[in-house]
A = this chain, B = another copy of it.
């Protein structure tokens, strides 16, 4: 396991330099809102479908969490209308559902829209933060994936490759770690892929109990961001929030969020449940699969709960 020294503090210039290395602004024209989803071509979807060999499907989502606690500051609310109840003299003949959720946060499995983060007053492709109103985003919204995000999914199970059950919460995953995992698994991340990075968060939680995951979570070292661009990742997911927390910047607590969402135009799948898909990969010694993400068609949304489906 290769450790990477993290400088104590990095200022705005250091971060801006990293941002500029990652930026895709203008790459697909001044009006582009799709960002790295542009890297997913029909050809990629065909190749993804061709990965289906067993006809087995696996969810990458946690159950929706409805209990507030120190980790879950915005629990979902779920209420059900029962059938058989008599209301106003009439028997209710069907059940009904109500769900309310604020999907951002560190427990809900969700997809971040490009407008979720801001750098220097701007969102992806130079659009000012003012595009996001209290009634929804006028651009860079969750609807860019409304026809489904379908491509090859690649799981990098970093702790497994590094010989441990999980990464410690302060661990910053380096390029070396990612490439060592590729080698161990015999897979290579290429253009148009959906990359899922496993840190073993759930395994650690199951073994040691909950910790303050709002403050400390393993995730990608900020120097890995340009590697994501270089490899042509279309969408990034993690069982954490992709960012390692704590990290060294004075200017942001979420460098990976800014470098992906804002600079690259790359959406993020946060808080994924990767234990099942990791087991399915390990059982097959195959770390690639067709992956389908179907965000809700929420005009102006800054996020969507999603249930990404891996198809083996």
Contacts and interface: CB of A to CB of B under 8 A. Distances in A.
Contacts of A187: none
Interface string A108-143: 010000011110010000000110111111100001
A63 interface: yes
Contacts of A59: 146-148, 294, 297
Interface stretch (A9-17, A74-82, A155-163, A197-205): A74-82
Contacts of A46: 52-55
Contacts of A311: 45, 49, 148, 150, 292
Decide if the interface of chain A is mainly helix, strand, loop or mixed: loop
Q: Give the copy number.
A: 4
Contacts of A117: 83, 93-95
Interface size bracket, A side: 35 or more
B298 A87 contact: no
Contacts of A50: 49
Contacts of A69: 68-70, 73
A147 B309 contact: yes
A172 interface: no
A87 to B, nearest CB: 5
Contacts of A137: 80, 95
Contacts of A93: 117-118, 252, 254
Contacts of A130: 84
Given A307-B148, A307-B297, A99 B101 contact: yes
A41 B53 CA distance: 13
4 smallest beta-carbon distances between A and B, as pairs: A42-B55, A68-B68, A148-B309, A79-B79
19 contacts: A49-B55, A64-B298, A68-B68, A74-B77, A80-B133, A80-B137, A80-B300, A82-B134, A83-B118, A84-B118, A86-B138, A87-B136, A93-B117, A94-B117, A97-B298, A100-B101, A133-B134, A148-B309, A294-B307
Interface of A: 41-46, 49-50, 52-59, 61-64, 67-70, 72-75, 77-87, 92-104, 109, 115-118, 121, 129-130, 132-138, 143, 146-148, 150, 252, 254, 257, 290, 292-309, 311
